[in-house]
Amino acid sequence: MAGLVIPVEEWAALHDLVHRYAARVDERDFAGVARLFGEPGDPGEPGVLVLPDPPREFGPVHEHRGPEAVAAALSVLDEVPLTAHGITGAVFDPGDDPATARGRITCVAHHVTRRDGRFADAVWHLRYLDRYAKIGGEWRFARREVHLDLIGTREVRASRLGR
């Protein structure tokens, strides 16, 4: 390991990467999300998204390898009228060489659905455990694991979807 701290310009690029993931998921740009992952054949373990299976499994159990599989896995969110992902913390550590890094990202993800004629918000508190690879001068997700900590549900009084 070169050092214990990520240089500020690399930290900023990694910070941007995790926020772009959240924004593109909320925009339903799953092809755009998939482009944030490495391709098969890239260095390391590129392009892997590992998702939980709530409410049975809160840890990562379903592996999706490669950009097409990542986009397909996330496309289930098309059935959720509104999501809002808020990044609440980001810690980055250097990897074994300058072209790799690790991250622990905390997030609160809101999933708004219609239930019994009203909107309900399933709120997920989660952690992403990430491995990144710098490919062609750009940081990409080599592996992203989603770990759920808790899920709550609450009524939505109003949203851009209506009341």
Q: Is residue 160 part of a domain?
A: no
Q: How far is CA 12 from the centre of its chain?
A: 17
The parent domain of residue 85 ranges over 8-155
Domain total in the chain: 1
What are the tokens at 72? 């397909």
Q: Is residue 130 part of a domain?
A: yes
pLDDT digits (tens, 9 = 90+) for 61-106: 999 999 999 999 999 999 999 999 999 999 999 999 899 999 999 9
Q: Is residue 163 part of a domain?
A: no
Domain CATH number, residue 141: 3.10.450.50
Sheet holding 138-155, edge to edge: 57-65, 48-53, 138-155, 118-135, 100-115, 82-94
The pLDDT tens digits along the chain (163 residues) read: 445 789 999 999 999 999 999 999 999 999 999 999 998 777 666 689 999 999 999 999 999 999 999 999 999 999 999 999 999 999 999 999 899 999 999 999 999 998 888 899 999 999 999 999 999 899 999 999 999 999 999 998 877 876 5
Q: Is residue 3 part of a domain?
A: no
